[in-house]
């Protein structure tokens, strides 16, 4: 089974341009992944204000999934429930809600701004492909990859925002790709699709670190000289090869 995935690396706080939408549509993708805090504008003063746009954000993400005729991992939105705020990733299959995931491991900056941790994993079967969703710093939790590895997940989607790291060498960047995402793919026995945003979030500059990885290495990534640019990665993944890898590893 061949599956086409698209990782979109746009500027945060902006809807996709017509050019970006047309490019994605022409790919005829099975899955599209957007970045963490995709629709949070740099002018938003706090997460509580960002949460006020939830209805419009959900409607927009649903419309994208319908227009692309695909399964869309909608990056993440800020979502309020009672007095609590969550960093939530909503999944839409051709416009219809297929579930959501709340970040299990918010970072200190999120916690200080009121983001609460979620309490469960998200996995789902979409057109014969089993997917899971993680958010950004969740990928630093090795046990989370290992637990997903017990669920026979084919693709892990990881919407992310990566802070700019001035002075970081290319070698250091690639080492982190391998240490976190390739090893995570190995632990889970899954493909990994990470989609990042560019621009800034609450005054902090970001770097686009989007990539698509397998247990045997990085398949595609945004090269270092394009880390500040909007980009779209596409790849065709052989799910049968992956499942064969998993079955042989378990023997």
3-state secondary structure the chain: CEEEEEEEECECCCCCCHHHHHHHHHHCCCEEECCCCCCCCCCCCCHHHHHCCHHHHHHHHHHHHHHHCCEEECCCEEEEECCEEEEEEEEEECCEEEEEEECCCCCHHHHHCCEECCCCCCEEEECCEEEEECCHHHHHCHHHHHHHHHHCCCEEEEEECCECCCCCCHHHHHHHHHHHHHHHHHHHCCEEEEEECECEECCEEECCCCEEEECCEEEEECCHHHCCCCEEEEEEEEHHHHHHHHHHHCC
What pLDDT does residue 13 have? 93
pLDDT digits (tens, 9 = 90+) for 3-29: 999 999 999 999 999 999 999 999 999
What pLDDT does residue 88 have? 97
The whole-angstrom separation of Cα 90 and Cα 76 is: 7
Q: Is the pLDDT of residue 43 over 80?
A: no
Q: Is the pLDDT of residue 251 over 60?
A: no
CATH number at residue 203: 3.60.110.10
Q: Is the pLDDT of residue 250 over 80?
A: no
What pLDDT does residue 42 have? 75
Q: Is the pLDDT of residue 80 over 80?
A: yes
- Mean pLDDT of the 119-123 span: 93
The whole-angstrom separation of Cα 246 and Cα 104 is: 26
pLDDT digits (tens, 9 = 90+) for 220-234: 999 999 999 999 999
Closest CA to 6 of 14, 15, 25: 25
What pLDDT does residue 190 have? 97
What pLDDT does residue 30 have? 98
Q: Between 46 and 153, where is the model more confident?
A: 153
Q: How many domains does the chain have?
A: 1
- Mean pLDDT of the 116-135 span: 96
Q: Is the pLDDT of residue 206 over 80?
A: yes
Q: Is the pLDDT of residue 49 over 90?
A: no
Q: Predicted confidence band at 65 (pLDDT cuts at 50, 70, 90)?
A: very high
Closest CA to 231 of 187, 201, 198: 198
- Mean pLDDT of the 93-98 span: 93
The whole-angstrom separation of Cα 24 and Cα 213 is: 20
Mean pLDDT of the chain: 94
Q: Is the pLDDT of residue 34 over 70?
A: yes
Residue 89 belongs to what domain range? 2-249
What pLDDT does residue 3 have? 98
């Amino acid at each position: 089974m061949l599956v086409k995935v698209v990782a979109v690396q746009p500027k945060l706080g902006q809807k996709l341009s017509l050019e970006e939408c047309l490019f994605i549509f022409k790919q005829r993708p099975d899955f599209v992944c957007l970045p963490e805090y995709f629709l949070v504008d740099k002018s938003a003063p706090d997460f509580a204000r960002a949460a006020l746009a939830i209805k419009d954000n959900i409607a927009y993400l649903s419309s994208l999934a319908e227009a692309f005729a695909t399964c869309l991992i909608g990056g993440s939105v800020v979502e309020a429930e009672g007095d609590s705020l969550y960093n939530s990733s909503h999944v839409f299959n051709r416009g219809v809600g297929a579930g959501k995931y709340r970040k299990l491991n918010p970072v200190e900056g999120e916690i200080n701004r009121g983001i609460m941790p979620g309490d469960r994993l998200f996995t789902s079967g979409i057109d014969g492909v089993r997917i899971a969703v993680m958010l950004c710093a969740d990928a630093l939790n090795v046990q989370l990859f290992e637990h997903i590895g017990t669920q026979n997940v084919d693709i892990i989607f990881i919407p992310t925002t990566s802070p700019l790291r001035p002075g970081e060498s290319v070698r250091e960047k690639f080492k982190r790709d391998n240490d976190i995402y390739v090893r995570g793919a190995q632990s889970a026995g899954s493909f990994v699709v990470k989609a990042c945003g560019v621009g800034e979030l609450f005054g902090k500059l970001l770097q686009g670190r989007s990539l698509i990885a397998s247990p045997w290495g990085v398949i595609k990534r945004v090269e270092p000289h394009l880390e500040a640019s909007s980009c779209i990665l596409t790849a065709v993944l052989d799910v049968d090869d992956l499942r064969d890898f998993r079955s042989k590893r378990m023997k």
